[in-house]
Amino acid sequence: MLQGSLVAIVTPMFENGSLDIPSLNALIDFHVDQGTDGIVIVGTTGESPTVDFDEHCLLIKTAVSQVNGRVPVIAGTGANSTKEAITLTQKAKELGVDACLLVAPYYNKPTQEGLYQHFKAIADAVDIPQILYNVPGRTSCDITNDTTIRLAVHSNIVGIKDATGGIERGTDLLLRAPKDFAVYSGDDATAMSLMLLGGKGVISVTANVVPKLMHEMCVAAIVGDAVTARAINAKIFALHQKLFVEANPIPVKWVLAQMGMIKTGIRLPMVNLSAQYHDVLRSACKQAHIL
């Protein structure tokens, strides 16, 4: 079972918006060296909405090659079209990923039955471990716990990334889900609490900039060492908050550029971090002893 700090890695870009593959390779090595437990490529933080199909596949292929079996690779392959999601998931399997992350269909707002049929169709079509991804704040589509439990019995649906931040909701899911169904946090600010309750890890934005600390916090929380987990989490809590002062991945890409890890490229309609937030981010970084 995948567990721990799974970084929702950014997609480095040159200033003109083209993919910066050398910087991606360097970031992957940085994460492996720092203890990151898995690489999530082409997720929301990886700007999946603005890469085309060929770029999507290139990013997955690059991650699998550069990781070279050192940690698991999870590919974002969700779409608001079931057919497209199946195609992406099949391609990711062919490229050698360990699992796929499937966001709830966005914009078209299916019913719960539609969501069930969507995810079941993908799981039936492609034999690879699949993690549901519920982020209603972005998709305007909420996978309810009841629907998640219906899907959890499928052998290819192995977990869910719950980005709602709702501890009551997460607790309910942990109590009702099969024991081999993993619940991952998709909300850095509440990830420690969810793991102390039984969650298996976090698919993290914060891990982009403090991978070692996120790994150590996850290790402590998963084994129930609340004292250690709380102490580490306190050091990076400001990052959990301030990395979302503007829409992700705008702030995290700004911090990584300040760290010298990537260039400043980001694709429209996303733009670089507003100047009014620069000092806010610098302060959070100093608290975590970066920058």
Model pLDDT, residue 129:
98
For residue 237, the number of C-alpha atoms closer than 13 Å in the C-beta half-sphere is 10
pTM exceeds 0.85, yes or no: yes
Query: What domain count does the chain have?
Result: 1
Model pLDDT, residue 1:
78
277 is a catalytic site residue? no
Domain containing 117 equals: 4-228
Q: Which of 253, 247, 245 is nearest to 276 (CA)?
A: 245
Per annotation, catalytic residue among 133, 200, 242, 253: 133
The answer to whether residue 271 is domain-embedded is no
Q: How many whole angstroms separate alpha carbon 192 and alpha carbon 183?
A: 13
Q: How many whole angstroms separate alpha carbon 138 and alpha carbon 141?
A: 8
The answer to whether residue 243 is domain-embedded is no
The answer to whether residue 26 is domain-embedded is yes
133 is a catalytic site residue? yes
Q: Which residues of the chain have pLDDT under 70?
A: none
Per annotation, catalytic residue among 61, 91, 93, 161: 161
CATH code for the domain in which residue 201 is found: 3.20.20.70
The answer to whether residue 257 is domain-embedded is no
